[in-house]
């Protein structure tokens, strides 16, 4: 199977859906003339023209509102934020209009719209450009929230998101755009709300999503050399969450560690922990451990940033703690 970059998977998904449906449009800062801030829309202006690939002003609230109105009138916009940190400017349109219009209109309006762009830390970008808002958006009824971890999942999930009749948030990572992975040339989609077991195991369940899945897989490789078998579950979608896959895994391993690149309070890991103790408490042989970022804004200094982010060594320690608990 061919290998392509994450950014190419994004471009392929959008281009294929734009060929499939003339109502699909792309809009955002630098998506057209510049081929995207991260070259994730390369070649799309040439193929689809300026009426379907639109460069916007630096005005997220404005173009998010335009996109919601366009969706109400039959188009299927894809809105790219240069970073989801900038989506805070547009959050009123996302939360109070896109997410609620179907209910407030009594079902007269669907909002088939995708908001996508980078999330969480991307290196030394400091406090206001290193935030993970997955749990913020997942907290809002009316939205679906997707966080892919590799090119194959990215393409399949993004195509499904574009075809969805309701608003979908698709959150990526700047540090993954150059990652390569196997992606088939034939048509495929991945249903939203279905987790994927990235590595089967028997001793400890690790639940995660997004780019930090790579840390979980690295830890799994290292622990395997010590005879410890991790089951690594990639949620892929954090609203709706595939609780059943997590619960069935915990019933098998009897231990759970949640790994997430976000602040601890109100995190996805907190929600997973609650649901596991509610539905599988009697199967747990140790308390659930949650690994997140430090409860502080991200620093710019590389040493402080390293201390801010969860890492492989912390995960290995957490796994051993739930495994060897007295």
Residue 49 DSSP class: -
Calpha distance 51→63 (Å, rounded): 14
Residue 148 and residue 314: Cα distance in Å, rounded? 23
Q: Is 20 a known active-site residue?
A: no
Nearest in space to 25 (alpha carbons), one of 97, 86, 74, 81? 74
With a CB cutoff of 8 Å and minimum separation 6, the contacts of 318 are 257, 289, 291
From 60, 80, 134, 261, the catalytic residue: 60
> Which of helix, strand or coil describes residue 92?
helix
Structure-token pair, residue 163: 């075809």
User: DSSP 3-state assignment of 3?
Assistant: strand
Q: Decide if 129 is catalytic.
A: yes
Active-site annotation holder among 129, 231, 260, 261: 129
Omega of the bond leading into 240 within 30 degrees of 0 (cis): yes
**Catalytic site positions:** 60, 129
């Amino acid at each position: 199977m061919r290998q392509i970059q994450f950014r190419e998977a994004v471009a392929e998904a959008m281009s294929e859906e734009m060929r499939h449906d003339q109502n699909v449009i792309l809009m955002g800062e630098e998506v057209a003339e510049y081929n995207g801030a991260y070259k994730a829309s390369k070649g799309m202006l040439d193929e689809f023209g300026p009426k379907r690939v639109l460069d916007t002003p630096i005005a997220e609230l404005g173009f998010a509102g335009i996109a919601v109105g366009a969706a109400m009138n039959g188009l299927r916009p894809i809105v790219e934020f240069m970073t989801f940190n900038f989506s805070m400017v547009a959050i009123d349109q996302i939360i109070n209009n896109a997410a609620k219009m179907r209910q407030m209109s009594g079902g007269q309006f669907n909002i088939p719209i995708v908001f996508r762009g980078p999330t969480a830390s991307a290196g030394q970008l400091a406090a206001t450009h290193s935030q993970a808002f997955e749990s913020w958006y997942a907290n809002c009824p009316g939205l679906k929230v997707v966080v892919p971890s590799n090119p194959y999942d990215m393409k399949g999930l993004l195509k499904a998101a574009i075809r969805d009749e309701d608003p979908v948030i698709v959150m990526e990572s700047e540090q993954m755009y150059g990652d390569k992975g196997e992606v088939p040339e034939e048509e495929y989609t991945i249903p939203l709300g279905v987790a994927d077991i990235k590595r089967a195991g028997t001793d400890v369940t690790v639940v995660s999503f997004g780019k930090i899945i790579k840390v979980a897989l690295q830890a799994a490789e290292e622990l395997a050399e010590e005879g410890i078998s991790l089951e690594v579950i990639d949620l892929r979608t954090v609203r709706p969450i595939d609780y059943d896959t997590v619960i069935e895994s915990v019933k098998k391993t009897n231990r759970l560690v949640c790994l997430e690149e976000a602040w601890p309070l109100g995190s996805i890991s907190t929600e997973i922990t609650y649901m596991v103790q509610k539905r599988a408490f009697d199967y747990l042989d140790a308390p659930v451990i949650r690994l997140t970022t430090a409860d502080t804004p991200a620093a710019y200094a590389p040493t402080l940033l390293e201390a801010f982010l969860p890492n492989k060594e912390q995960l290995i320690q957490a796994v051993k703690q739930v495994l060897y608990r007295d």
